[in-house]
Structure 1
Amino acid sequence: MTDLQIADDTAERAYWEGWQRSWDRQQGWYLPDREERFRVMIDLVEAVGGPAPRILDLACGTASITERLLARLPQAASVGVDLDPALLQIAEGHFRGDQRLTLVTADLRDPDWAAALPEGPFDAVLTATALHWLDTDTLLRLYRDLTGLLRPGGVFLNADHCPQPGTPLLNAVHKTFEERRQLAESADGVLTWAQWWQAAAADPRLAEAVAARSAVYRDHKDGDTHTAEWNIERLVDAGFREAGLAWRSVSDAMFVAVR
């Protein structure tokens, strides 16, 4: 490889690394404990799958979960599935040449979405702050789908928005605190969701994928939000042997289900 090729390769890696870190920072603006929930998630994956688990990164986005998984467990393998062409483009660029990650485009709202996946089973299915976009009927069908993708003893882990309706005073105090934190971080240059997408649309290399994203999500509607307890009960109803709480903050929770 010539010096020019090395320089080009270094610049290419830096470009995608920049977008990956920008995404992480934007997500952290909303989720200050994001890395903590990832740590707990991967702790459980290692406990169940050992040093070389095979995982499904569900609604993977830029594959942030996979990045943490592979840094911690270098022998792991991941299949990342998402519908968003812009986020998948960033993931593809960031993981270019890494054979441990396979990226798949599929719509979780499609009952046949799993047909696009490589053959299973998986040791774990992992997802974060994504499934709350689904309506209740689609989410329940997805839970049933996952029982057929995991090996016996495998786990499903979902970290998402799970409000606690029984603690309105605590919820209000926490909301005020988070708004103050976000205001301070915005002053320090952290982008909001809308600002991040504006920046991506202005990048010539991402503009086409961002435009395609608008078409993909043309009919998108907000999903249904449920408590952690509701999700735990529904996972058992879907066929998991047991389910429980793995991590909790005031507004979010991570629950785990064992196949």
Structure 2
Amino acid sequence: MTDRNHWNDWQRSWDRQQEWYLPDREERFRVMLDLVEAVAGPTPRILDLACGTGSISERLLARLPGAVSVGVDQDPALLAIARGHFADEPRLLLVTADLTDPGWADALPPGPYDAVLTATALHWLATDDLLRLYADLARVVRPGGLFLNADRAPDHAVPLLTAADEAFQQRRRARERAEGVLDWADWWAAAAADPLLADHVVARKALYGEHADGEFHPAEWHTARLVEAGFREAGVAWRSVTDAVVAAVR
């Protein structure tokens, strides 16, 4: 197997592991890209925030051949997969930066950007770091541009629906695990066993330790904080019982 095929397999494996948690993941991406195309047309300049292996950028570049993307992340293992997978893709630039560092945007190519997209990542941040990041993004996005965040957004008004949905998802995940789908822990164990990824996984653990979420906030909390940070309007572009795509216009 060539290195390129090796990294492609890891990219697909990451997507499948994420889909195990988020069976509507592709629908979220479609909604996000619909809005990007509606606002910025066929040649947007995008910031893929906390890009991981580049899942958003891959779908963006496939859909809009005139797009360009800058992916930013700190995770050395996921960035190694992205660099291998996108080795021959000149439309994507990958940047290493720590979003908890107030100077993180200094590592980016000069903006502004037509849109900033992120998915299932910012819940890792403590609330103070997230609020500071929202203010940073209001300076990174061009006037009229977009910020889109797809993430967990609990709706405390529907506890019965939330409990029913969680039970349903647990049954689905149990069936898929029996069919061999890897969960988060098993995926990372497999990555640590890969000679091409092992050192990157060690470096990742030195940065992050064990996985730890920050604080989850309702979608309405995010929309209010984005307006306070300098966006002209913010609302919910898509939601399920437990998750939402929050969209803000600069």
Shorter-chain TM-score: which interval?
over 0.9
Q: Determine which of 4, 12, 28 is the counterpart of 1:21.
A: 12
The aligned counterpart of 2:197 is 206
The aligned counterpart of 2:67 is 76
Q: Determine which of 37, 42, 66 is the counterpart of 2:28.
A: 37
Q: Residue type of the partner of 2:72? A: V
| Structure 2 CA distance for aligned equivalents of residues 180 and 77 of structure 1 | 40
Q: Determine which of 170, 184, 189 is the counterpart of 2:180.
A: 189
How big is the shift at 1:51?
A: 0.6
Q: Determine which of 144, 158, 163 is the counterpart of 1:153.
A: 144
Q: Residue type of the partner of 1:78? A: S
How big is the shift at 1:222?
A: 2.6
How big is the shift at 1:97?
A: 1.8
SS across alignment from 2:114: strand
The aligned runs of 1:111-126 (5 Å cut-off) are 111-126=102-117
TM-score by length of 1: 0.95
RMSD: 1.0
| Structure 1 CA distance for aligned equivalents of residues 163 and 209 of structure 2 | 33
What 5-or-longer segments of structure 2 have no aligned partner?
A: none
| Structure 1 CA distance for aligned equivalents of residues 210 and 7 of structure 2 | 29
Q: Residue type of the partner of 2:111? A: G
The aligned runs of 1:233-248 (5 Å cut-off) are 233-248=224-239
Runs (4+) of structure 1 exceeding 6 A deviation are none
Larger radius of gyration: 1
TM-score by length of 2: 0.98
SS across alignment from 1:102: strand
The aligned runs of 1:29-178 (5 Å cut-off) are 29-178=20-169
SS across alignment from 1:148: helix
The aligned counterpart of 1:256 is 247
| Structure 1 CA distance for aligned equivalents of residues 243 and 81 of structure 2 | 26
Query: What is the total number of aligned residue pairs between the two structures?
Result: 250
1:230 aligned to 2:221?
yes
Identity of aligned residues (%): 69
Q: Write out per-residue CA displacement over residues 9-47 of structure 1, whole angstroms, 9 at most, x where no aligned residue.
A: xx2221111000000000000000000000000000111
